[in-house]
Structure 1
């Protein structure tokens, strides 16, 4: 039975300042604030790269990218030439669902013959229809790339005037489809789905070509994707499988069973005969692991792309230490051939990196790695053949955007040019600019630094048509400061001051969600620039315990019964501001804010520290742990219980009830602004309403903004802009002149 996340608004007295907003107890936002926010909104609309297309329509090919133009409610998809000398940008999606729909992925493919004819190129898209994150699969293609022109299909999206056509492949909005994976040969398409039960995520497989669906090219009926489940149903009725990689010879698929952020065991399944699959995937334990298996995360798992060694596997794991590192495993012999980045001296890694490797990509003759160095990206490449085989070489950037903090790569492997990369650049100045680079020439000029370590210099060339609007306001570079929390644990925060610490200013403490994410120079609130420039407010982004990037012990330091230790980190930060930063920060004027888990932290901080906080802004926040864990989408429950605790255990349930902000709302005395998506499937809207109602009944000022047809976070222009404006108006009234002294 499908879960319902509907909220009955009929009992509320609300206004509708626009058709995407329901406002409860909140005044209309004046136009002057919306006008004042425009330059900040404009510069926040960055670009993202999804992948290189297979076709060669323009010169050396094309890339699919996304961007929300000024006149669009939601993000749209574009196509641009690979050649950075070109400035073309073609909009390829025009459909409007009238909701905060989310495009989760766009995966270019060689083609499919599901409809009885070969449709070359195009992509498979993951997208929900209403912000609830129950993603469906959609096929994007063009008639010009199809052997036979297919007539209009029932339910096909109206995407005119684009030549891109989009048909739906899955048809149940109560089922989530995710974790799309193509086999290396692209014979097979694997994915995960909840169709066998709302709490079970299983892996399925289907053919892209030679599919033998029996459908005629002249058929206009809607098509339902054929598939075979390759993971067995669990006796508990709960599972969370995801396929990671398929060997080049199509013999093996490696999967993980996602138990939580700290536990992701690895499995292997023989798929050489899809008609007679094994009853269950085989558990694969890493030999010589030094960490507890139930506290080991295995991710970024990729088979070799070399036909001579199809069963070599590249894995990122924390099975050998506190940080996540890359290694090479021989699946046939079940032996670790090399540790690539592990920092433990006994493992003799090729190049020890004492931080997390957050991702790697296996290409035909190189391994590309990205490490997280205290919140900043560091890139490395390791050739898999030639004179520099298994030498880890650092990549240093020059050219356009070389001083960015994040460089997210997309490779042109599909067209045989893996050294050709589209980078998404982000920094405190830019929300997402695209740039081109070619590693080939740089790898012919490897240099050595003063410590004898290898590096190359890669030149970035901007895609001029894929640059966000340059900030028409002052941008402030961040710095990282660390402080001792209540128990001596060192906690970092990213710090922005509007005038370089030369003046004592009010403070915003913005807490990230997750909790297993990290505040970096990339993660900024939507009103960050306005706070810095218009309200002359410093902004601090703490990485409280539970954040990633500092080892798994730090990440697990807030689990279950330790939950409120992360709240105490904020209390310690408030004290640190008053004791050690009083010349540049005004400890009597602090407000706290955050979204999702950061919304919980906002609620919780107000229950503990209202006497020290002027006000709070909570977005999509968790207020009641027991209600959250029992009502969040069923497929998320076990994952979240590992982090927060199992509310079906009486002792844990009592603890969670005791610490929930909803149980302590009577301690909140500071004004509170709450915003939430009405279709949120992670944190149901009832949680937001409860906190609003609890405050108002006790005479504490509270405001509630609901995003219509929005989920966990906001995607629609009208909602994004209005919510930001409402927050600024709230701060003008309850923060600008406030003082807790």
Structure 2
């Protein structure tokens, strides 16, 4: 069992990817043809020569750990093969061994679970065309050429939660989606929890129906009589509940129902072997999320990592509960710390390869941890750590002949905002020897807003830094995770534009740096980062060269009205409730669509047609409005994508278009 805290990244930074269709090979006038799923407006023809020049930056392929086999020393891995269009699931039977592909679908597959007793089959999740209406499938591993069997209702959004290992049953959640409603939207959202034997899906049993869309199952007790549920209300508030597996009855554990205390965030980990205690990560005691342990009977919560002034970002336990491995987000770079499962004291830190640690998971047989690392000089790779402290590498990332050792390490930079708040970001700086003088700048703003720009591999964006000589700054404006709960809430509601002012202060800081050119700055971002990009383009039009908005919010009221219903109330806590007249007036007044006439520099908008989070209408309306005032707008829409491009062929065309946009705005 593992707990992962969600992080959002700007889609343009997620480069994984397939071969482009290039017309008339060898012809100096040949151009790259967009595939049939791309709608292209205003984007000039892309020379084939550019595609050939950047191709080596288009195929970095790392590996992500997915699951340990229940009996053998082997694992499931998520990876995109050479020439493949999307990430799929593979079986890896030994360190550095060959990968055996298990799933073959046009849509990406990144999560899967072995059947928990013998590993005879896997259950994997997949959505279609980026719509995020996830479905669960069973795939037999002992049957050659087996076809996946659909287990869930296609009219619901389904999520695998965990296994009841003794019975071999899985617990999953299902949430209805708007397209199945007669009115096209839902006033009331519920989450249903089910138990199912994947080999007998017709006999599934409903555990209960819970109000709202923020529920998930975190753990099962060892006797499998109780489930731990987490109810997410906002980035700053959540609850922990217990559910009786036999009758579905629930009771709230944290915060205590009668407790009068400030809202706090809780992340449930796993039960102790005797079922009396529960491992918790919470910011109840201070600014940061601490590793804690709850005595279920008394309700006493024991603090274990108060000496570490950073957030716990993930945790995993050995099967016997004797050791806990916790990841701590230290200024944007995850580190692994070990704790004694009985006393709670911290143990000596293991020696791991350098990089940002992710996906730490104990196996159930050998107490061996699988973990990934990635850094500025390479994509994600999988390692294991034995109980004796031995580190073994399981995968080698593919970099297609590029010497990634030359890539620039990221540095942390800080500046003061308008109110004295310290804001930080990651800077990737071109070689001063190769690119002397003041360099143009891309400001790439992450999504969320409850996300964080973290230390790691920037993929194809290395081309901007290493071949075009552009400095890349990834700011963590107020509202970002990782810097305390007060900082996280500092952009909520009527404080929304304070985060935009943080970028204004960054523009001031850039002007003071001898190696950065304040006259050549471009801003880009995805999702909430797309809103920030548009907002910067309205507030600081005279200080930027252009803007790239990827699946961004252009008007908060229309966004809240049209986003999928299961997300609406969760987003109202962050942005404000548009049903309140004062808030509605504020949201309308600050929205980029309202201020579109102020966007005077070229704009590039990228959108997936099937996006359930930020509907494509947000892109269409800002494109039309900005064009009314005569500002040049490029528009790229993919009919088979959702909240960001997941298919390599679409990512490749987006990347090439981005380079052209940079050449015509930032580099001219």
Match of 1:227 in 2: 205
Matched, 1:66 2:78: yes
Matches within 5 A, 1:3-14: none
Match of 1:403 in 2: 354
Matches within 5 A, 1:247-262: 247-262=221-236
Match of 2:369 in 1: 421
Match of 2:62 in 1: 46
Match of 1:456 in 2: none
Give me the whole-angstrom Cα distance separating, in 2, the residues matched to 1:225 and 1:391.
45
Instruction: State the SS of the aligned residue for 1:249.
Output: coil
Matches within 5 A, 1:334-733: 334-336=299-301, 338-342=302-306, 352-363=307-318, 364=320, 365-384=322-341, 389-398=343-352, 402-413=353-364, 416-418=365-367, 420-438=368-386, 440-442=387-389, 459-464=390-395, 467-469=398-400, 471-472=402-403, 474-499=406-431, 503-522=437-456, 524=458, 527-578=460-511, 580-581=512-513, 583-733=514-664
Give me the whole-angstrom Cα distance separating, in 2, the residues matched to 1:182 and 1:242.
13
Gap change, CA 1:493 and 1:397, over 3 Å in 2: same
Give me the whole-angstrom Cα distance separating, in 1, the residues matched to 2:203 and 2:518.
58
Q: 1:312 Cα deviation (Å)? A: 0.9
Matches within 5 A, 1:166-177: 166-172=148-154, 174-177=155-158
Q: 1:730 Cα deviation (Å)? A: 1.1
Q: 1:286 Cα deviation (Å)? A: 4.5
Q: Could you list the runs of 5+ residues in structure 2 that have no partner in the other structure?
A: 1-31
Q: 1:469 Cα deviation (Å)? A: 4.3
Match of 1:147 in 2: none
Q: Could you list the runs of 5+ residues in structure 1 that have no partner in the other structure?
A: 1-14, 112-118, 145-161, 214-222, 343-351, 443-458
> 1:39·1:472 contact (CA, 8 Å) conserved in 2?
no
Give me the whole-angstrom Cα distance separating, in 2, the residues matched to 1:239 and 1:507.
40
> 2:358·2:372 contact (CA, 8 Å) conserved in 1?
yes
Instruction: State the SS of the aligned residue for 1:259.
Output: strand
Q: 1:224 Cα deviation (Å)? A: 4.9
Q: 1:30 Cα deviation (Å)? A: 1.4
Q: 1:497 Cα deviation (Å)? A: 1.0
Instruction: State the SS of the aligned residue for 2:408.
Output: coil
Q: 1:410 Cα deviation (Å)? A: 2.8
Q: 1:332 Cα deviation (Å)? A: 2.0
Matched, 1:283 2:252: yes
Matched, 1:331 2:296: yes
Q: 1:80 Cα deviation (Å)? A: 0.9
Q: 1:27 Cα deviation (Å)? A: 1.6
For 1:708-733, what per-residue CA distance to the aligned partner results, in whole angstroms no more than 9, with x for missing partners?
Answer: 21000111111010000001011111
Give me the whole-angstrom Cα distance separating, in 2, the residues matched to 1:468 and 1:635.
39
Gap change, CA 1:635 and 1:657, over 3 Å in 2: same
Give me the whole-angstrom Cα distance separating, in 2, the residues matched to 1:277 and 1:711.
35
TM-score, normalised by the number of residues in structure 1? 0.80
Instruction: State the SS of the aligned residue for 1:605.
Output: helix
Instruction: State the SS of the aligned residue for 1:611.
Output: helix
Q: 1:164 Cα deviation (Å)? A: 4.9
Q: 1:466 Cα deviation (Å)? A: 5.2
Give me the whole-angstrom Cα distance separating, in 2, the residues matched to 1:169 and 1:180.
14
For 1:408-439, what per-residue CA distance to the aligned partner results, in whole angstroms no more than 9, with x for missing partners?
Answer: 323222xx112x2222111111121122321x
> 2:88·2:110 contact (CA, 8 Å) conserved in 1?
no
Give me the whole-angstrom Cα distance separating, in 1, the residues matched to 2:83 and 2:76.
20
> 1:378·1:395 contact (CA, 8 Å) conserved in 2?
no
TM-score, normalised by the number of residues in structure 2? 0.89
Matched, 1:315 2:259: no
> 1:179·1:242 contact (CA, 8 Å) conserved in 2?
no
> 1:170·1:225 contact (CA, 8 Å) conserved in 2?
no
Gap change, CA 1:251 and 1:703, over 3 Å in 2: same
> 1:184·1:247 contact (CA, 8 Å) conserved in 2?
no
> 1:428·1:475 contact (CA, 8 Å) conserved in 2?
yes
> 1:69·1:75 contact (CA, 8 Å) conserved in 2?
yes
Q: 1:460 Cα deviation (Å)? A: 2.9
Give me the whole-angstrom Cα distance separating, in 2, the residues matched to 1:168 and 1:224.
11
> 1:291·1:318 contact (CA, 8 Å) conserved in 2?
no
Does 1 or 2 have the higher relative contact order (CA < 8 Å, sep 6+)? 2
Instruction: State the SS of the aligned residue for 1:110.
Output: coil
For 1:584-633, what per-residue CA distance to the aligned partner results, in whole angstroms no more than 9, with x for missing partners?
Answer: 10101100011111111111100000100000111111101101111001
Match of 2:91 in 1: 79
Give me the whole-angstrom Cα distance separating, in 2, the residues matched to 1:730 and 1:225.
55
Give me the whole-angstrom Cα distance separating, in 2, the residues matched to 1:277 and 1:679.
35
Q: 1:650 Cα deviation (Å)? A: 1.3
Q: 1:124 Cα deviation (Å)? A: 1.3
